[in-house]
Amino acid sequence: MNYNKKTVKDVDVKGKKVLLRCDFNVPMAKDGSGVITDDKRIRAALPTIQYLLDQGAAVIACSHMGKPEPSFEKWAKKQAEKGKDPASLTKEKWEKSLEALCMEPVAKRLGELLGRDVVLASDVVGPDAQAKAAALQSGEIMLLQNTRFEKGETKNDPELAKAMADLAGSDGVYVSDAFGAVHRAHASTAGVAAYLPAVSGFLIQKELDFIGGALANPKRPLVAILGGAKVSSKIGVINNLLEIADTIIIGGGMSYTFAKAQGGTVGDSLLESDWLDYCNEMIAKAGEKGVKLLLPVDTVIADKFAPDADSKVVPNGQIPDGWQGLDIGPETVKLYCGAVKDAGTVIWNGPMGVFEFEKFAVGTKAVAEALSETDAITIIGGGDSAAAVQQLGYAEKMTHISTGGGASLEFMEGKELPGVACLLDK
Ligand code: ADP
Ligand code: MG
């Protein structure tokens, strides 16, 4: 995939309407009060929005929020499958479920952050959106309703994509800044690019520069630290990085499948028996390619999966029954932290242990600290890894923390991202 894409700086938007795809899929309070519990994603979109407004564009912003079901029949069917009483599945309830995913709170918060009015359309491409888009002036911003209220959004329906593009008019421009959604080929993330000149905003540009740069042309040595829960969810990442990295470090829950594959005992640790052969193949492949593969040498085990579990350190692959590995051990910490010291680039995906429990966050914290101290370019991908680095207080010290969980994983897997591929090449 070509990562060298045109950005907002490469097009003239003055006096034009810009359809801007943002990632405003923010977490909302569960009580239906419409309170946004974390507005980080809205804040992250501000630089691109402000730039476009300053350049004299009229900005038609859009985003999806949550997973609304736009068809009442399908909604009722899904609820019934979840065991809900069919008699209780009324149209009113369905409408309520949609209401909870309306963009009003986002429009309000965005307006507060920008210090200006944000006009909200009551539909996505309907009469209200059309009228408001037509009336929108240079330097003004409006927001469309939740793009997933349209059935055609997730199906990448060309008719919907064209209707969205039409809102920006014949000399309109499409700007994508929703990195969290670029791995999906939806009408608003990819389809519209067939009808408007398409460029990236600053957020996507940064992701392409750092992750794309590290994959395509890394400052060496490139060290990849891979952890997290499961081998099966990281196969694509391991495969791709084996082709690129100089060193691969394995930690977290998936390291126990590697330990078992090498003949160790892992007690009650996370284990994916179907992937034992794969682990051995990867170890062999690393050897053939001259990639240094580091596995834990010791591990912290617990007598239960709980924050207050009893714990002790044992050598890797020597976990007794009734115990489970929840963190890398102190010798492993030394080994791994040493390996990042002289790195040119470090890509990290997947915590080294159950960092959500303070007692088992030690390994993850030590690696985060080591990354904060190296001169290497440090890149964090993956939703939980980003959360871990933030929670442990090292976010400011990293070169780049990806804003897209699933998207950053697919990026590291070397997959083509439809929301990036559709943008104009530089
Ligand atoms: P990311 O979202 O960054 O890609 P993952 O989703 O793969 O990361 O993994 C994160 C989860 O892995 C965390 O919730 C963490 O608690 C869990 N985890 C890490 N190590 C272990 C372990 N030894 N046992 C069980 N779960 C683990
Ligand atoms: Mg995750």
Q: Is the pLDDT of residue 8 over 90?
A: yes
Ligand lying closest to the C-alpha of residue 230: 1
* Contact 380 CB / ligand 1 (< 6 Å): no
Q: Residues whose CB is under 5 A from ligand 2 (ion)?
A: 383-384
- 106-161, pLDDT tens digit by residue? 999 999 999 999 999 999 999 999 999 999 999 999 999 999 999 999 999 999 99
Give me the pLDDT at residue 213, please: 92
Q: Which residues are catalytic?
A: 41, 230, 383, 406
Q: Is the pLDDT of residue 404 over 90?
A: no
Percentage of residues of the chain with pLDDT beyond 70: 100
Say if residues 298 and 259 touch (Cβ distance below 8 Å). Answer: no
Ligand lying closest to the C-alpha of residue 311: 1
Cα(62)–Cα(46) distance, integer angstroms = 14
Cα(294)–Cα(316) distance, integer angstroms = 12
Cα(396)–Cα(389) distance, integer angstroms = 9
* Contact 383 CB / ligand 1 (< 6 Å): yes
Nearest to 7 by CA among 39, 42, 55, 40: 55
Nearest to 316 by CA among 304, 306, 331, 303: 331
For residue 281, how far is its CA from the centre of ligand 2 (angstroms)? 24
* Contact 252 CB / ligand 1 (< 6 Å): yes
Give me the pLDDT at residue 301, please: 98
- 308-318, pLDDT tens digit by residue? 999 999 999 99
> What is the mean predicted confidence (pLDDT) over 71-95?
92
* Contact 207 CB / ligand 1 (< 6 Å): no
1 or 244, greater pLDDT:
244
For residue 354, how far is its CA from the centre of ligand 1 (angstroms)? 6
Cα(371)–Cα(374) distance, integer angstroms = 5
Task: Report the nearest atom of ligand 1 relative to the CA of 233.
Answer: 7
* Contact 233 CB / ligand 1 (< 6 Å): yes
* Contact 23 CB / ligand 1 (< 6 Å): no
Confidence of residue 2 (pLDDT cuts 50, 70, 90): confident
Task: Report the nearest atom of ligand 1 relative to the CA of 351.
Answer: 19
- Kind and range of the H or E element at 143? strand 141-143
Cα(214)–Cα(208) distance, integer angstroms = 9
* Contact 353 CB / ligand 1 (< 6 Å): yes
Ligand lying closest to the C-alpha of residue 354: 1
- 16-64, pLDDT tens digit by residue? 999 999 999 999 988 878 899 999 999 999 999 999 999 999 999 999 9
- 174-194, pLDDT tens digit by residue? 999 999 999 999 999 999 999
Per DSSP, the residues of 21-52 read E------B-TTSS--BS--HHHHHHHHHHHHH
Give me the pLDDT at residue 387, please: 92
Task: Give me the chain's average pLDDT, please.
Answer: 96
Task: Report the nearest atom of ligand 1 relative to the CA of 386.
Answer: 3
Give me the pLDDT at residue 3, please: 87
Task: Report the nearest atom of ligand 1 relative to the CA of 387.
Answer: 3
Q: Which residue has the least CA distance to atom 25 on ligand 1?
A: 253
Give me the pLDDT at residue 376, please: 97
Q: Is the pLDDT of residue 303 over 90?
A: yes
* 411 phi/psi in degrees, rounded to 5: -60, -50
The model's pTM is: 0.90
Give me the pLDDT at residue 288, please: 96
> What is the mean predicted confidence (pLDDT) over 227-241?
93
Give me the pLDDT at residue 32, please: 75
* Contact 253 CB / ligand 1 (< 6 Å): yes
Give me the pLDDT at residue 241, please: 96
Give me the pLDDT at residue 34, please: 84
> What is the mean predicted confidence (pLDDT) over 399-407?
91
Provide Rg for the chain, Cα atoms: 24
Pocket test for ligand 1, best of 384, 398, 410 (most atoms within 8 A of CB): 384
Cα(76)–Cα(97) distance, integer angstroms = 11
* Contact 205 CB / ligand 1 (< 6 Å): no
Ligand lying closest to the C-alpha of residue 382: 1
Q: Which residue has the least CA distance to atom 10 on ligand 1?
A: 228
Cα(237)–Cα(80) distance, integer angstroms = 37
Give me the pLDDT at residue 1, please: 78
Distance set, CA 17 to CA 58, 116, 202, 425 (Å): 5, 18, 18, 21
Confidence of residue 272 (pLDDT cuts 50, 70, 90): very high
